[in-house]
Amino acid sequence: MSDTLESAESASTGVKLQCPICKSERFLEFNGRENARCASCQAMERTRLLWLILDKHGLFRPGIRVMHIAPELPLIKRYSELLGDRYYACDSDPTRYSSKFTTLRPLDLTCDLVKIPSCSFDLIVHNHVLEHVRCDIESVLQEFERILAPGGQHYFSVPVRGEETHEFLSDDLPLAERIKEFGRRSLAEMLDRVWGTSEKHHIEPLELFSAEELKTASIPTEAWSGISGHTIFQHTRSTLRRPSMEFGRSQLPASEKNDNPDRSPRGAASAAFAGTGPKLILHIGMPKTGTTSLQHWLSINRDAALRAGLDYWSIAENHSEAIFTAFASAKRLAKATMWFQRGERSRQEDSDAFRKSFDEFLSGLGDRVGCVSAEALWTFGIDDVRNLAARLQERQVQALILCWIRPPAEFLKTATQQLCRSTLAIGDFDIRFHRKVHIEYRRLTAWAEQFGAERVVVEQYDADMVAQLQKVLGSLGIHVAARQDSESAALNASISLVAAKALLALNAITNGENPDRARRLRSILLKLKGPKFYLPDSVLRRMKPAFGKEAEYLADVLSMDKDWLLAEPVGIDDALFFQWDYGEVVELLSAVNEVLSKTDVKTGQTDKKSKKDGSSGGDGGN
């Protein structure tokens, strides 16, 4: 009978049937459906479709951890052989299964999922299981989401009829008849609540396979598109998570929120220059707020700025070395820890020379507004700020202290990326991490005390920092006709997560040895592509108290928006941050291989040139 049915199907479609699992060409009828069951491996239509999809998505691979509920025999065989004890086959009644390949474990979805540790599986699979579960299905799906590892995938199918879900679970019904029938709309709404709305929740087979491939596997046409009982629903858990922060927006008392529209930073800028005397903008950072981009823009547009009434100190594009050497305390200078000191202490004659240049710059301002931009100013302690303030007061300079800041958690992220480029190693991510990356907004107090709080203007960081600067300058009546080719460009761009992991490993082994080689390696690793960089969840959790304290200070002293300061940061699962996966290793080795290939080409060209010139070595016959 099965041969007749198979031959008829083949003759009517012109396609030779073949099971994608066992490659058998014989199929059996089941419940009135022709060619529904493979005669060899017994796989039904939905099992064959699931197999095709898992294979297409590369999920028959070693090393992953798989939970398979009510497992189908063909999948049991493949996964048990491939994964061994990393394959977790289970059912509410394991005695129904007899398999020589694996031992089935008992699992009651109504009460046992809560006993499984979080992030335990990379793949969860079940076909026509949820309709038999006598509890809230949404809570079951939420538990599946909890035990699924970040980046892990969940595949399932259920019977679907109509638009609304109906339950037939009465104890009066025989066990086999107790069932849920899921409605298309009800199911979609539930999956949106559990999985979110950023992805399509069901697979369209025609987007993955040709019609001929589906016919060959004897997949019924009603399963090719749309939603039905054959449909495979799929979800990939995000690798990113938002840790629950102690200082959420909903917890903020209304009195603590910054709702004072009169405190406009740009209004404060114009008020700071209401008096007489030379006018000077001191841009002090903070670090990782587009300072490099601003300095570059100011430098290449210096002539246009002069015509508009703004004089950017011409001693350098970045004024950090000059302003630090001129006004930092002797103790700070002696430490020689700034990046521009290169391990050498600044000499007194250097301080005198930079201070003289600064005085000449101030003397030449006339009616123009001067501008100094230096990230090093953010590092100034009370003694350093006092030295600079005394000099400006002596010359009767009206100073405006301007800085942009990131929220504490965001600054921690960007500062960590920057340190990955130099000294930060994987071992630094311990309980003393806060000592490696400092978050200290309270340094602004010294500026407020020495210059007056009304002259310290703090703005929220924005991606387009040049536009933000132009707004501040505009409030002072300064409108710079910038060059067309000087659009705001992101310098010191963010590095990828893969690059960060590679740099952390490199920094752990270099120990300052062979700095030239380490520099060359870093230049390779910085270019690695991959997912965006995020801090691990454990670091964000440990830093919560520090974030809260800094936000309290900024809100109380500078009237900044506490909601903005405490916006929940996005974190990444620790395992994804500290461990490597296969794709990341491939990306790393590909980058190294590309560099080696270029080196080989150059070496080959050099060898050919040497041979042509007759200078391939030896003593030349002398």
Q: Could you say which residues of the chain have pLDDT below 70?
A: 1-14, 168-179, 241-270, 342-346, 484-492, 511-512, 599-622
pLDDT tens for each residue of 93-125: 998 887 778 889 999 999 999 999 988 999 999
Same domain assignment for residues 36 and 123: no
Q: What are phi and psi of 327, to 5 degrees?
A: -130, -10
288 and 229 in a common domain: no
The pLDDT, as a whole number, for residue 11 is 46
Position 298 in a domain: yes
Residue-level pLDDT at 423: 85
Q: What is the CATH number of the domain that holds 146?
A: 3.40.50.150
* 77 and 38 within one domain: no
Q: For residue 433, is it within any domain? A: no
Q: Is residue 135 part of a domain?
A: yes
Of 214, 238, 262, the one marking the end of a domain is 238
Distance of CA 171 to the CA centre of its chain: 49
Please indicate, yes or no, if residue 551 is contained in any of the structural domains: no
Q: Are residues 60 and 15 in the same domain?
A: no
CA distance linking residue 209 with residue 188, whole number of Å: 24
In a domain, 120, yes or no: yes
Q: What share of the chain is helix, strand, coil (3-state, %, to 5)?
A: 50, 15, 40
Torsion of the alpha carbons at 279, 285, 290 and 296, rounded to the nearest 10:
50
Shared-domain flag, residues 281 and 375? yes
**Same domain assignment for residues 168 and 289:** no
Q: Are residues 73 and 122 in the same domain?
A: yes
**Residues paired with residue 402 on neighbouring β-strands, in sequence order:** 283, 457
Residue 608 lies in a domain: no
Question: Is residue 226 located within the same domain as residue 298?
Answer: no
Flag whether 395 is in a domain. Answer: yes
Does 16 share its domain with 133? no
Record the tokens describing residue 72, joined without a space.
């189908």
User: Is residue 382 a part of any domain in this protein?
Assistant: yes
Nearest to 200 by CA among 161, 241, 231: 231
**pLDDT tens column, 422-466:** 888 988 888 788 888 888 899 999 999 999 988 999 999 988 889
Task: Mark residue 150 as left, alpha or beta (left: phi above 0; alpha: psi -120 to 50; beta: remaining).
Answer: beta
Report the predicted TM-score, pTM, of the whole model to 2 decimal places. 0.65
CA nearest 537: which of 407, 429, 426, 436? 429
Q: Tell me the H-state helices in 452-496.
A: 465-475
Q: Within this chain, do residues 82 and 35 fall inside the same structural domain, yes or no? A: no
The pair of three-digit structure tokens given for residue 273, joined into one six-digit string: 């220059």
Type of residue found at 416: T
Give how many domains the chain has, as a whole number.
Answer: 3
DSSP notation for 275-323? SSS-EEEEE---TTSSHHHHHHHHHHTHHHHHHHTEEE-TT-SS-HHHH
pLDDT at 621: 40
What confidence score (pLDDT) does residue 371 get?
Answer: 96
How many helices and strands (H and E) does the chain possess? 24, 17
151 and 25 within one domain = no
- Tell me which residue range forms the domain holding 96: 47-238
Q: By C-alpha distance, which of 145, 265, 296 is closest to 559?
A: 265
Q: What is the per-residue pLDDT for 188?
A: 94
Q: Say if residue 19 is in the same domain as residue 65.
A: no
Question: Which stretches of 120-264 are DSSP H helices?
Answer: 137-147, 184-195, 205-208, 211-216
Q: Which of 193, 220, 238 is the last residue of a domain?
A: 238
Burial of 509 (0-12, 13-18, 19+ CB in 10 A): exposed
